[in-house]
């Protein structure tokens, strides 16, 4: 069967080269005589895989020495609790920006453990922009400041990071990690579920500045304490071994393509093909304030709900799948992560032109 162009927001497309390499190695990895799925996480051969994954990630993201990389489970959603449980070490206060459903979930989870100051929100217009931030509303004694760098459901992204001074900046980068050049040193902590831009579901990557480790609240369970995983090189218990292996292949793929600078260039090119088309269309409409448009998730609508439905149905029949918008916002959403080739975006635009001609 032919592969489709999969515009899913996550789990999402993986590079074909990665899948093919994994296929070749599926039954017997190297000369181990077994699948990576069957290996002990304590074996020498697996140790090379997990250490290798970390090394390539450090290389492509240029992660400074004083940061730990942790390979965890539980998804980004577990980080909503793990971040406050570990970072509430003084005032037990934190500042959050509410830019959508994932921010809201992070906020409500953090509220269980301390005082949350929501410094700004874009809820008034269904989160179709990133709110301007006023430094005078920031808590100077906050233990951390939390943002969602890219808002998967609404298709917005920060174009400028908040200046939080000495307060560590924490970012949920689930849907934009590896999509563009990132200065890790600007953050105290970065977390991301792997299933959007790094690999299969089951793996969560945390990049944390070392001085933020080791101050967890007493109530933090062992498994939700960053120190547990940092002290054991992410091998305190069985990590998601196969997901880490695939992520390693994805990191190597990113590196082979020229790294994050090249990813950023291609992603900008892909996004602008779609945005330029939307901007020049009298039929389709992008739903996000242009300044804050995401490079990864691009929501748009036709003139009516009926046409939106018809669009999704006919696109699917043409091998352009998972274009239905999130159930809370409707319309369409094209998620075009690193693995989506330029040809996929061009095929989508060609289909959009044809659909418009037939339905306007």
- List the catalytic residues: 102, 172, 196
- We find the least distance from the C-beta atom of residue 175 to ligand PLP, in angstroms, to be 4
Q: Which is nearer to ligand PLP, 76 or 336 (CB)?
A: 76
Radius of gyration of the chain (CA): 21
Q: Which two tokens stand for residue 336?
A: 């075009």
- We find the least distance from the C-beta atom of residue 39 to ligand PLP, in angstroms, to be 24
Alpha helices in the chain (DSSP H): 16-25, 44-61, 75-87, 101-110, 226-231, 241-256, 259-279, 305-317, 342-359
Who's near 108: CB < 8 A, 6+ residues apart? none
Q: Which is nearer to ligand PLP, 294 or 302 (CB)?
A: 294
- We find the least distance from the C-beta atom of residue 268 to ligand PLP, in angstroms, to be 20
Q: Which is nearer to ligand PLP, 199 or 284 (CB)?
A: 199
Q: Which is nearer to ligand PLP, 154 or 245 (CB)?
A: 154
- In DSSP terms, 69 is beta-bridged to 207
d(CA 129, CA 107): 18
- We find the least distance from the C-beta atom of residue 205 to ligand PLP, in angstroms, to be 11
Per-position DSSP letters for 167-235, written without gaps between them: SPEEEE-TTTTTSS---GGG-SEEEEETTTTTSSTT-EEEEEEGGGSS---TT--GGG-HHHHHHTTT-
- We find the least distance from the C-beta atom of residue 173 to ligand PLP, in angstroms, to be 8
Contact residues toward ligand PLP (CB under 6 A) are 10, 75-77, 102, 148, 152, 172, 174-175, 193, 196
Q: Which is nearer to ligand PLP, 234 or 302 (CB)?
A: 234
């Amino acid at each position: 069967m032919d592969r489709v162009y999969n515009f899913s927001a996550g789990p999402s497309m993986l590079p074909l080269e990665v899948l093919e390499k994994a296929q070749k190695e599926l039954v017997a990895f190297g000369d181990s005589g077994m699948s990576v799925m069957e290996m002990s996480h304590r074996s020498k051969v697996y140790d090379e895989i997990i250490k290798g994954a970390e090394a390539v990630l450090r290389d492509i993201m240029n992660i400074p020495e004083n940061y730990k990389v942790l390979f965890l489970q539980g998804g980004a959603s577990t980080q909503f609790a793990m971040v406050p449980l570990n970072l509430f070490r003084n005032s037990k206060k934190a500042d959050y920006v509410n830019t959508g459903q994932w921010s809201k979930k992070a906020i409500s989870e953090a509220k269980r453990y301390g005082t949350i100051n929501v410094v700004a929100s874009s809820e008034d217009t269904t989160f179709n922009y990133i709110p301007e931030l006023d430094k005078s509303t920031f808590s100077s004694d906050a233990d951390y400041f939390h943002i969602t760098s890219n808002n998967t459901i609404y298709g917005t992204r920060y174009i400028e990071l908040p200046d939080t001074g000495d307060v560590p900046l924490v970012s949920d980068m689930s849907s934009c990690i590896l999509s563009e050049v990132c200065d890790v040193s600007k953050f105290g902590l970065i977390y991301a579920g792997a299933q959007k831009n790094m690999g299969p579901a089951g793996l969560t990557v945390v990049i944390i500045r070392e001085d933020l480790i080791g101050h967890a609240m007493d109530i933090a369970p062992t498994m939700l304490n960053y120190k547990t995983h940092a002290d054991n090189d992410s091998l305190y218990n069985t990590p998601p071994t196969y997901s880490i292996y695939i992520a390693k292949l994805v990191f190597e793929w990113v590196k082979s393509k020229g790294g994050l600078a090249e990813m950023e260039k291609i992603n900008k090119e892909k996004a602008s093909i779609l945005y330029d088309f939307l901007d020049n269309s009298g039929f389709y409409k992008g739903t996000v304030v242009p300044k804050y448009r995401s490079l990864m998730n691009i929501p748009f609508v036709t003139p009516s709900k009926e046409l939106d439905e018809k669009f999704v149905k006919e696109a699917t029949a043409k091998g352009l799948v998972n274009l239905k918008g999130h159930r809370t916002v409707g319309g369409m959403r094209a998620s075009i992560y690193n693995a989506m080739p330029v040809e996929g975006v061009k095929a989508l635009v060609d289909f959009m032109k044809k659909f418009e001609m037939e339905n306007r």
